[in-house]
Amino acid sequence: VQLQACGGGLVQAGGSLRLSCAASGRTFSEYVMNWFRQAPGKGREFVAAINRGGTMTYYQNSVKGRFTISRDNAKDTVYLEMNSLKPEDTAVYYCATARGIYYNDYSMDYWGKGTLVTVSS
């Protein structure tokens, strides 16, 4: 599976961004889709996941109520809507596929290259 994430950029605190991740090469709907992020000088951390049918979502506590993960299986794309952004959300955001619901990066199968989100205070 090839994954291409986009939509990152520079935004002021309190602002919004929408990330997209387009998949190709395999059947998109076979995979649980995930977003991870890696802040400067830190390890990669789980942000959100969505099940194959798009009916169940899972979030890291710090983004609950602010971020929304969704998917469009007809377009082979997963999204991350990010609202009320904070400077601590600054990171490179990655999309990844998995066969189940996991919260760790070592269980992911395929990764996109990442897109940088910078939130200024």
Q: d(Cα 40, Cα 21) in Å, to the nearest integer?
A: 22
pLDDT per position as a tens digit, 5-44: 999 999 999 999 999 999 998 789 999 999 999 999 999 9
Q: How far is CA 6 from CA 12, 24, 75, 77, 102, in A?
A: 18, 15, 15, 11, 23
**Under DSSP, is residue 30 helix (H, G, I), strand (E, B) or coil?**
helix
Angle at 31 between CA 79 and CA 109, to 5 degrees: 100
Q: Which pLDDT value is given to residue 28?
A: 92
pLDDT reported for residue 9: 97
Token digits for 110?
């395929």
State how far Cα 115 lies from the chain centre: 10
pLDDT digits 0-9 by tens, 53-87: 999 999 999 999 999 999 999 999 999 999 999 99
Q: Which two tokens stand for residue 101?
A: 């619901």
